[in-house]
Structure 1
Amino acid sequence: MKVTNLKTEYKSNPVGLKACSPRLSWEIVDEKRNVSQNAYQVKCATSKLDLQNESKLIWNSGRIDSDQSIHVEYGGRELQSGQRVYWTVKVWNNYKEESEWSASAFWEMGLFNDDDWKAQWIEPAYKEDPSDSTPSPYLRKEFHLKKNIKKAAAYLTCHGLYELSLNGEKVSEDLFTPGWTSYEQRLQYQTYDVTEQLISGKNAIGFVLGDGWYRGYLVWQGNKNLYGEKLALLCQIRIDYEDGSHEMIVTDDSWKSNTGAILKSDIYHGETYDARLGSEAWNKPDFDDQNWFGVTIKEYGVANLVSSEGVPVRITETIKPIEKIITPKGELVFDLGQNIVGWVRFRLKGNAGDQITLHHAEVLDPEGNFYTDNLRAAKAEDTYIFRGDGVEEFEPRFTFHGFRFVRVSDYSGDISLDDIEGRVVHSDMPLAGEFECSDPLVNRLQKNIDWGLRGNFLDVPTDCPQRDERLGWTGDAQIFAPTACFNRDAASFYTKWMKDYIADQREDGSVPWVVPNVIEDGGGTGWSDGFGATGWADAAVIIPWTVYQVYGDQRILEEQYESMKGWEEYMIKESGDRYLYDTVFHFGDWLSFAEYYSYYYNAPDYGYAGANTDKDLVATAYFYYTTGLMQQIATILGKAADADRYAALRPKIKVAFQTEFITQTGRLTSNTQAAYVLALSFGLIPDNLVAKAAKRLVDDVNHFGHLTTGFLGTPMLCQALTDSGYPEIAYKLLFNKRYPSWLYAVTKGATTIWERWDGIKPDGSFQDVGMNSFNHYAYGAVGEWLYSSVAGLKLDTSVPAYKQFKIKPYPTEELTFAKAKYHSMYGEILSHWEQDDDTFKLNVKVPANTKALIEIPGSDFSKLKEGGIPVDQIQEVEIMGFEDGKLLLEIGSGDYKFECSK
């Protein structure tokens, strides 16, 4: 038995933590079956040596009789700013065995107090024109260290984006720091251990700043300088010496500023780089900066600074192009073979002053020409001007593009497939899950879902990564959150983002369409002021609830509770004593199927289409659902009065919904798939009419032969059919290759999820250029069903974090196997079934300290074996009974191989 994978606040050896009581988690590895933890002991010290010697411990929990192995709160001495803590853990199991102490891990605290900041805000002291993109500021300082360094930590942030180097070397691979938040209230700072980058003697520190979200172009309205007109820097490095003294290097009026090679950097429009203006020595000691400008001290304060708790953005993969194309228009285009988010890196030669321009696109048009109309105002253009001294390498710093195809212009030399490559950039969320089955098109769909996540999870969950938008749309995020958590470790990502809901929420509790909120007055749509749309604003409740369910994180419920309650109370106020949420603007079942193209083109409101679901029905259904979540959350947090109030409210909403939207025969007033899906999934149908409502949903699917749902109906469609006893109809939708369907886009060559079912129409033409993203993850929310019902790996909502889970596959004759792996907080889970004409096999892996409820298709336990032995002879397998054509079992940890004769 070993204790492994020690995490603090979800991270391995994190620095810059803000939590005063960090939470510790670990995994137990043991080859035996049915292993559970009975007790644990944690030790903490401020050095590895003290931890090993058990001297000067700052916390020794002693033996704690508990099965808790995730989110164990540190309970030792009060922690200090910048303090590093090393920790180790051992456990006892139900076999009365004691593990060895784990390998040590550590965490390091951030800065707790405002007066911990000794640095001053500085801005470049040269003039700029804030009305347009301007050259990136370069800032530098030299300093001399005279003693032997024990430890050094840098704390830094900026207005805009920064890249930090020490002595000519980048300090971190993190990109787009300090990230995007609601800057007025929440500006993140990062902490880096820079001990290895500093030396005794001369040192130099250098920063390059980019416009980023702070002052770049943002939102489709052509806005610029949303947060400010000047970029600024705040940085301090604390250096602890071996003799016990320390020194601070801070931003102050001794710094120098200038412009350099980056002539412009804009997220939408791209980057221009003139290599003739650059110097490789500018961020190294002994550089002559006497002609540089000074800096201006600014009094911005530090009250809005928060330690970074999200997931850093990084380059995670490099892709070589698969084809070099000369288009019918005679343009040179490279095809990466995959729609990615990031940029191109090249290595090329050019004469001094020569330039190369790169444009980025997701698709080629029907004639095979480069197509950028769907980017709207975004130029997505990178330009490089050569130095002229041999092979030169370039990749941008402060922009990103959504693209598969790259057009090269303004370059007279030859370019081969080996000269350029695509750099994949996104929040570096560890891979958590894998899904695979015997259908290659469905496997491509799963890949597209994950690529859509990677393309749009760039510090915030954006709607799309290519056009002049790229905003944190709340509705897209909430419907996709369960799928995101299956594919990637998303806890830290969502925890960071949800804090901006608190920052941007109105006092009346209404939640904006996008977070961080940068849309003014509904973004010029004329629909509303940009607040309060159900299915979108409900993300304030649904995403924290999802994080709690998947990761067992009660703290996020505690921290977000007032925000969640604010939204709930807003809906209560708006619905009044009629209990129908039929006020303000709602998107409804956005982008649902449009039966008539002519209507679609002329529609000012894309949520109203051929399969129109009444928005009041959708809004009231979400009102009921969210109220139920609030009742559960209030109960978990011990807020009994709130729980009782919401419990009393739910029946009133249900009666109002049934009276307004359901006939006596079980027909919904909006006779659409989305209406039935929401009503069935949220439990709004009277018990005596559930079967009839489910049959109406099935009849509608069979009538059309395809789905008709939009953003809110689609995520729950297959699961609603499956739960209603019609998994074969859900599979009919999954395997459909005709428009509209998931596999239609796959057959059209999609490598990501599209915004619209017919982004490319059956005749090969494109949808409306005003809104036609080919990397838009919302419809990828079907991924949750692939994991939980096709492969059968299902979260047990009664026990969070997969402490107890279900293996409940729904096999179909169209598949010979399906497999899902998922790395939970407790370890790896596996559900892998395969079948032939005679046998159904199910391989299961259950992590230590958890248990699983298994459902295997069959009717006779005498035909069921595990490892070749009749299941009733296996001590670790508990037979629970038979129900709805399934054999029910309960098992503890271990690897199991079940086989059932048909």
Structure 2
Amino acid sequence: MDWKAKWLKPANDFGNAAPVFSTDFALSRTVKQARLFITALGVYEAALNGRRIGQFVLAPGWTTYYKRLQYQEYDVTDLLRAENHLTVTVGKGWYHSPMPGFSASDFQKGLAARPMGLLAQLEITYEDGQHSFIVSDESWSVSESAVRFSEIYDGEIYDASFIPPCSVAAETFNGPYETLIEQQGEEIREQERIAAVRIFTTPKGEVVADFGQEITGYVEISVNAKAGEEIRLSHAEVLDKDGCFYTENYRSARAEYCCICRDGQQSCQPRLTFFGFRYIRIDAFPGGPGAGKPENFTAVVLHSQMKRTGRLSCSNPLLNRLFDNIIWGQKGNFVDVPTDCPQRDERLGWTGDAQVFVRTACLNYDTEKFFTKWLADLAADQGEDGYVGHVIPDLLKKQPASAAWGDAAAICPWAVYLAYGNSEILSRQFESMRKWVDYITAHTTTEYLWTGGVHYGDWLGLDAPSGSYKGSSREDFIASAFYAHSASLVIKAGLVLGKDMAAYEALLHNIVSAFRRAYPTYTTQTECVLAAHFHLAEDCQAAADQLALMIKECGTKLQTGFVGTPYLLHVLSDYGHTDLAYSLLLREQYPSWLYPVTKGATTVWEHWDGIMENGDFWSRNMNSFNHYAYGAVADWVYCCAAGITPAEGYPGYSKVRIAPAPDARLDWLEASLDTRHGRIISRWKKQDSLWRYEITTPVDAEVVIDGKTFLVSAGSYIYHSSIQLA
């Protein structure tokens, strides 16, 4: 891109008000095409002749800004007139907001100290073949906008009746050009609109609107008001056990929206921020909080522009609600980066959560472009020695690397490759994958194991000692297991790319040998899971059998945390305990995937008992009700219960294996998956005391029914089981 434009900043300090940059220009010839190239240090909303440009909300998105800043290209031909007025409002966004709210960040302070910058270049091509340019420079004006305050955690104040003082000339400054990149990720867009289902008064006298579903986005308000009347909303995920509005789990994030109205019928909504919520408290409204009606409020759902590819349904209503919750959790947390949660003073791209969920993410939606961009940021933020931070973009620099978090560098690219069959992701990320393994090799205190580090362990494991967030699984055990796993993925990626991987194959052999010597026995469910799933145990069947026994001995309950849970049901199924995997999936009592559903969850929770049996909360300071990681269980439903996987050696489902595993506690189950090669459907149901299997495959497939393998070509097939139902 040949930038002729200059970086602009406000001439004066506007305080909390968002600046609006503007320019006027006239056209006297017929325009063939007009393209606007634009970015900002912050988030922007651009308009030409009063009409919004594009559908990208919170553009230019969130990247590791010191090294990568996206710019966007918009075709604005249809918005042009003879006389034109171009405006761009710039808010703090991720660039200037004080993130992360729960921890000091020198990285973020450095960004916040930079100007609220804008770079814009309009390239016009005329019918006669001539070109002209409208570029941001000293001729542009800047003034305070009607957005009086806006940032990520605290929300926004908008004054529709605000009349700005006279504009002044904008100032140019030496902004970043060398870090500019074309738009790489998916655009964040408004995706759905949800009407308020009810407005009620709590025991404390609060007026609250309920949208019936937790979302990420904001509320659009339609109202007839007088100039100066205020609308003030607060946001919350849940109500407390008394039915009152609850925000303590947002911690320091105020999550408020205020609109100061103009005269007449109008609609307003946040423009440069977002919230995670199901409920709003109406703190002020024309005529009083109680004057608001459901039709005044519409929740607008935001997430990255991703195509839905996977669907699950079955005969169990609670399980169907879980499937929906997993989808809503992904939508709510895939807002340009895979965040842990969208509501409190965090909303960061935690690497551990991303690697836990990546396989499910790639089944539910086409996330190839989404992860390609985020993984490019991971590689950009990665240390020269291979260090990978806990979050990407890495706002928490200098913290010790953690196993299962930094391993996202290896796990995520491989999962994306398997899902879509495009080796380009491996080409882009191979050096990052390799450097991560080399980092472990260089920083361990025990050769061929990973010891001596500081890790999150089996985060939120239910077998955690009193007062600890970490489960009882040994941290060095977990770290060494992931060391082996990441090394194996580097080898696989290298072989796909035609590289000589002999050195890493020898390394992996030594890691596995050292692991077996150091850890001949397993003390927790998660240790059994990792030993079997990563093929580290001398006898993986024995490790899986031990796992099954542990589960049964504690009352058929899981005790795993972030590290063990994603693989738990897979290990049970892979080693002959599918019935036990179903028992865990279908369990309704705490702890289980369905327990939150019985408590009214509409997304996946951070804690199995975020709301406890007696209605109390797990905690005030770390209790998100939209935390997608445990939704990784959907991967098992697609791949084991419905049995849809790529055939060995055929990434991207160019050939498939379909091996359904029904359970008599369900009458039927169906999974569909749109792949690069077409739609795969696997359905099973009870029929006349037998199982009926209905399978559609767009490619050649290995179909496994009752242990028998059928090789079939593309088409639809029906099989009946020879096994009588008990």
* Alignment match, 2:141: 256
Structure 1's consecutive aligned runs of 4 or more residues displaced over 6 angstroms after TM superposition are none
The answer as to 2:93 corresponding to 1:212 is yes
Structure 2 CA distance for aligned equivalents of residues 798 and 835 of structure 1: 33
Instruction: Report deviation, 1:531.
Output: 3.9
Instruction: Report deviation, 1:727.
Output: 0.1
Structure 2 CA distance for aligned equivalents of residues 125 and 845 of structure 1: 63
Please, which of 663, 666, 675 is the counterpart of residue 527 of structure 2?
A: 675
Please, which of 360, 366, 382 is the counterpart of residue 489 of structure 1?
A: 366
* Alignment match, 2:714: 893
The answer as to 2:277 corresponding to 1:403 is yes
Instruction: Report deviation, 1:795.
Output: 2.6
**8 A Cα contact 1:680 1:690, kept in partner:** yes
* Alignment match, 2:18: 136
> Aligned partner of 2:95: which letter?
Y
The answer as to 2:456 corresponding to 1:582 is no
When the two chains are superposed, the root-mean-square deviation of aligned CA atoms in Å is 1.4
Within-5 A mapping of 1:587-626: 587-594=456-463, 599=466, 602-603=467-468, 606-607=469-470, 609=471, 612-626=472-486
**8 A Cα contact 1:429 1:489, kept in partner:** yes
* Alignment match, 2:545: 695
**8 A Cα contact 2:463 2:560, kept in partner:** no
- Shift in alpha-carbon separation, 1:840–1:595, aligned structure 2, 3 A: same
* Alignment match, 2:70: 188
Please, which of 117, 125, 128 is the counterpart of residue 3 of structure 2?
A: 117
2:264 is paired with a residue of what secondary structure?
coil
Within-5 A mapping of 1:837-876: 837-847=688-698, 850-857=699-706
Pair member with larger Rg: 1
1:340 is paired with a residue of what secondary structure?
strand
* Alignment match, 1:834: 685
Structure 1 CA distance for aligned equivalents of residues 109 and 42 of structure 2: 10
Structure 2 CA distance for aligned equivalents of residues 252 and 484 of structure 1: 43
- Shift in alpha-carbon separation, 1:770–1:245, aligned structure 2, 3 A: same
> Aligned partner of 2:342: which letter?
P
Q: How many positions carry a matched residue from both structures?
A: 715
Instruction: Report deviation, 1:901.
Output: 4.5
Within-5 A mapping of 1:558-577: 558-575=427-444
**8 A Cα contact 1:613 1:674, kept in partner:** yes
Structure 1 CA distance for aligned equivalents of residues 178 and 28 of structure 2: 34
Instruction: Report deviation, 1:900.
Output: 3.6
The answer as to 2:536 corresponding to 1:684 is yes
Instruction: Report deviation, 1:797.
Output: 4.3
Within-5 A mapping of 1:106-505: 111=1, 116-129=2-15, 134-199=16-81, 201-219=82-100, 220-221=102-103, 225-229=109-113, 230-277=115-162, 291-387=166-262, 389-411=263-285, 412-413=287-288, 414-505=291-382
How far does the alpha carbon of each residue in 1:549-600 deviate from its partner, in whole angstroms, 9 at most, with x for none? 111121111111111111111111123663110122111110010477xx2x
Deviating more after overlay: 812-821 vs 833-842? 833-842
1:441 is paired with a residue of what secondary structure?
helix
Structure 2 CA distance for aligned equivalents of residues 594 and 278 of structure 1: 59
How far does the alpha carbon of each residue in 1:474-532 deviate from its partner, in whole angstroms, 9 at most, with x for none? 00000100000110110000000011112111111110000001114xxxxxxxx3242
The answer as to 2:399 corresponding to 1:530 is yes
Structure 2 CA distance for aligned equivalents of residues 278 and 454 of structure 1: 37
Instruction: Report deviation, 1:647.
Output: 0.8
**8 A Cα contact 1:135 1:259, kept in partner:** yes
* Alignment match, 1:763: 614
1:418 is paired with a residue of what secondary structure?
helix
2:61 is paired with a residue of what secondary structure?
coil
Please, which of 624, 637, 648 is the counterpart of residue 786 of structure 1?
A: 637
The answer as to 2:627 corresponding to 1:627 is no
The answer as to 2:506 corresponding to 1:657 is no
- Shift in alpha-carbon separation, 1:128–1:723, aligned structure 2, 3 A: same
**8 A Cα contact 2:97 2:112, kept in partner:** no
> Aligned partner of 2:441: which letter?
I
How far does the alpha carbon of each residue in 1:277-334 deviate from its partner, in whole angstroms, 9 at most, with x for none? 058xxxxxxxxx9x21111111224110001111111111111112211000000001
The answer as to 2:418 corresponding to 1:518 is no
Instruction: Report deviation, 1:898.
Output: 2.5
How far does the alpha carbon of each residue in 1:686-726 deviate from its partner, in whole angstroms, 9 at most, with x for none? 1xx33322221011100112100000100000010000110
How far does the alpha carbon of each residue in 1:202-223 deviate from its partner, in whole angstroms, 9 at most, with x for none? 1111111110011112102366
- Shift in alpha-carbon separation, 1:797–1:382, aligned structure 2, 3 A: farther
2:234 is paired with a residue of what secondary structure?
strand
Structure 1 CA distance for aligned equivalents of residues 464 and 136 of structure 2: 61
Structure 1 CA distance for aligned equivalents of residues 264 and 32 of structure 2: 41
> Aligned partner of 2:558: which letter?
L
2:36 is paired with a residue of what secondary structure?
strand
How far does the alpha carbon of each residue in 1:809-862 deviate from its partner, in whole angstroms, 9 at most, with x for none? 111000111111111011111111112343322222222xx31110112xxxxx
* Alignment match, 1:713: 564
**8 A Cα contact 2:529 2:543, kept in partner:** no
* Alignment match, 1:92: none
How far does the alpha carbon of each residue in 1:730-754 deviate from its partner, in whole angstroms, 9 at most, with x for none? 0010011111110001101100000
* TM-score, length of structure 1 as denominator length: 0.78
Q: Gapped runs of 5+ residues in structure 2?
A: none
> Aligned partner of 2:118: which letter?
L
**8 A Cα contact 1:332 1:408, kept in partner:** yes
Structure 1 CA distance for aligned equivalents of residues 97 and 86 of structure 2: 25
> Aligned partner of 2:373: which letter?
K
> Aligned partner of 1:693: which letter?
A
Instruction: Report deviation, 1:410.
Output: 2.3
Structure 2 CA distance for aligned equivalents of residues 182 and 570 of structure 1: 21
Structure 1 CA distance for aligned equivalents of residues 464 and 53 of structure 2: 55
* TM-score, length of structure 2 as denominator length: 0.96
Instruction: Report deviation, 1:454.
Output: 0.4
Structure 2 CA distance for aligned equivalents of residues 384 and 246 of structure 1: 42
**8 A Cα contact 1:549 1:797, kept in partner:** no
1:742 is paired with a residue of what secondary structure?
coil
The answer as to 2:499 corresponding to 1:639 is yes
> Aligned partner of 1:233: which letter?
L
Structure 2 CA distance for aligned equivalents of residues 690 and 303 of structure 1: 51
- Shift in alpha-carbon separation, 1:500–1:593, aligned structure 2, 3 A: same
**8 A Cα contact 1:788 1:795, kept in partner:** no
2:684 is paired with a residue of what secondary structure?
strand
Structure 2 CA distance for aligned equivalents of residues 428 and 204 of structure 1: 29
1:500 is paired with a residue of what secondary structure?
helix
Structure 2 CA distance for aligned equivalents of residues 593 and 517 of structure 1: 28
Same amino acid, percent of matched pairs: 41
**8 A Cα contact 1:121 1:300, kept in partner:** yes
Structure 2 CA distance for aligned equivalents of residues 585 and 189 of structure 1: 38
Q: Gapped runs of 5+ residues in structure 1?
A: 1-110, 280-288, 521-528, 858-885
* Alignment match, 1:799: 650
> Aligned partner of 2:550: which letter?
D
How far does the alpha carbon of each residue in 1:29-54 deviate from its partner, in whole angstroms, 9 at most, with x for none? xxxxxxxxxxxxxxxxxxxxxxxxxx
> Aligned partner of 2:227: which letter?
A
